[in-house]
Amino acid sequence: MEVEFRHYLPVLLILLLGFGFAGAFLVLARAFGPQKPLAGKLDVYECGVPPISDARERFSVKFFLVAMIFLLFDVEIVFLFPWAVLLKDFKVSGMGLFAFAAMGVFLLILGLGLLYEWKRGALEWEK
């Protein structure tokens, strides 16, 4: 099967034009824009309210841990949704039991990971 690249030429042209315009405007802004930052641009902005403290505070590691656990289970849903959509096709092809068992093992591993995180205290905020 021969690929005809002329079908992709408009997409390539639009990509090149987009990058060209973006690059040109960045260069023009750098060349003709103000070079000295104003003091107001260096201040912390909190929706028009005067800042109470410095914005560069340290965050607890708990925020990072909760974000990682959320991403882990969010990726689980990304894998679970296509499987659920295609399960009917797997049944028709005779691989329904295998597909169901494979997803069961996947969910079991994730459930064990959740249990491990729970026992380690990763889900308890007050510590």
Q: What is the pLDDT of residue 27?
A: 97
Q: What is the pLDDT of residue 55?
A: 64
- Type of residue numbered 56: R
- Residue 112 maps to a domain: yes
Assigned domain for 23 exists: no
Residue 21 counted as domain residue: no
* Residue 55 within a domain: no
DSSP assignment of 53-111:
S-S-PPPPHHHHHHHHHHHHHHHHHHHHHHHHHHHHHHHHTT-HHHHHHHHHHHHHHHH
pLDDT at position 104 is 94
Specify if 104 maps to a domain: yes
For the chain, the domain total comes to 1
User: What integer best gives the mean pLDDT of the chain?
Assistant: 85
User: Tens digits of per-residue pLDDT, 4-62?
Assistant: 888 889 999 999 999 999 999 999 999 998 777 777 677 766 677 777 776 677 777 78
pLDDT tens-place string over residues 73-101: 888 888 888 888 888 888 889 998 999 99
Asked if residue 2 belongs to a domain, the reply is no
Residue 110 lies in a domain: yes
Work out the widest C-alpha separation in the chain, in whole angstroms.
Answer: 69
Contacts of 98 (CB under 8 A, 6+ apart): 90
**Structural domain containing residue 77:** 61-120
Q: Please name every residue paired with 49 in a beta bridge, in sequence order, or none if there are none.
A: 46
